[in-house]
Structure 1
Amino acid sequence: MRKVFLFLVFSIPFHLMAQQKLLWDDFTDVSFQDIYNVHYDDYFLKPTFGPKIKSYEGSKISIRGYFLDFSYKEEFFMVSRNPMSSCFFCGGAGPETIVEVIFKNKPGYKIDQIIEVTGILELNADDVDHCNYILKEATARLIQ
């Protein structure tokens, strides 16, 4: 019985059992292809996620970056590799440099404050109304 237990414990990848601190380079394990979207009558970048980032899907991860708030009628928050002036929407970075964040509780951070966000990673290849990377059930702390 003990051998079976040890086998099960050590055969499960470690990052599925504990929170992993990812770096922005981990999110570059993706390639993009322009795909036409009939609903929006426009082309969007469709991601194909690589095996490394796929291995974290559904896992609790954390990432450090700049807080972005795009809330208007609905709450819409992101953490970015870059500050607002050079993020994916405003500068030359790509969609792999932002993560949509769905917080457990509404955050009180200001744009471009550096935070560390922890949540469950979801990979999104099909819903163009959301980012390719989403952290759900997220919490954050301010980095001084």
Structure 2
Amino acid sequence: MDKLSKPIIWTAVILLLMTTDFSSTCRHGLKGANAFHYNTGFVQSGWGNPATGNGQSQNTAGEISWKQLADVTYVLKYNKQFDGDIMYPVFGAAVKKLAGKEWIIEGYMIPLDIKSGLYAVSRNPYAACFFCGAAGVESVVSLKFKTKPRRYKTDEYCVMKGVLMLNDDNVNDFIYLFKSTEEVKK
């Protein structure tokens, strides 16, 4: 091989790897027989689903699915703080009925500010979450913990319980918030 062939081959290999979609090999969140797969919608954890009435609940809170949280549209409105138009959420009737009640949700932990205990739970792992542009804002829930939380790792799969609040006016926070959040041990 001459001196020029090696760099050309390595460049071609690197370009091939950079342009290949490996997402079909990704299996985040699959946990045995009761696997939760983030493309399926409803969580399958064995606690029962309030939408279908299936199963026996081990907690006072029912489960909420990411599919249920997708019941939102957006409207463009002027925002004085940013001096421009911003998309504001318009919650559907089904998701409005969920507000103010305690729910359980499963997802991937996204640390926002570890020192202050600011976290979000996401439908998708970090590499495919809202922050990376691969999902919508409805796929993330801001967590307001009851007490100082333990330190979570990025993409740690967790089960969280909290009171669902809808945010349709504060553009500096997520549209979904869990107040009085605590981790649920499986």
**TM-score for the superposition, normalised by structure 2:** 0.63
State the 1:20 CA deviation: 1.4
Q: What is the aligned counterpart of 2:159 among 105, 116, 139?
A: 116
Deviation at residue 72 of structure 1 after TM alignment:
6.5
1:27-76: CA deviation from partner (whole Å, max 9, x where unpaired): 01110122232212343321111111111111000110000111177442
- 1:139 and 2:178 aligned: no
1:24 lines up with 2:77 in the alignment: no
Q: Which one scores higher on RCO, CA 8 angstroms, separation ≥ 6? A: 1
The one-letter code of the counterpart of 2:180 is E
* Residue 140 of structure 2 corresponds to residue 98 of structure 1: yes
Are the aligned partners of 1:114 and 1:142 in contact in 2 as well (CA < 8 Å)?
A: no
* CA positional deviation for 1:85: 1.2
User: For residues 99-136 of structure 1, what are the alpha-carbon distances to aligned partners after superposition, in whole Å with 9 as ceiling and x for unaligned?
Assistant: 00001122321110010110001000001111100000
In structure 1, which of residues 130, 138, 144 is the aligned counterpart of residue 173 of structure 2? Answer: 130
1:27-66 superposed matches below 5 A = 27-66=69-108
Larger Rg: 2
Specify which structure has the higher proportion of strand.
1
Report how many aligned residue pairs link the two structures: 127
Runs of 4+ in 1 over 6 A off after TM superposition: none
Q: 1:112 aligns to what SS in structure 2?
A: coil
Identity rate of aligned residues, in percent? Answer: 33
Map Cα deviations across residues 3-22 of structure 1 (whole Å, 9 max, x no partner).
xxxxxxxxxxxx9xx41101
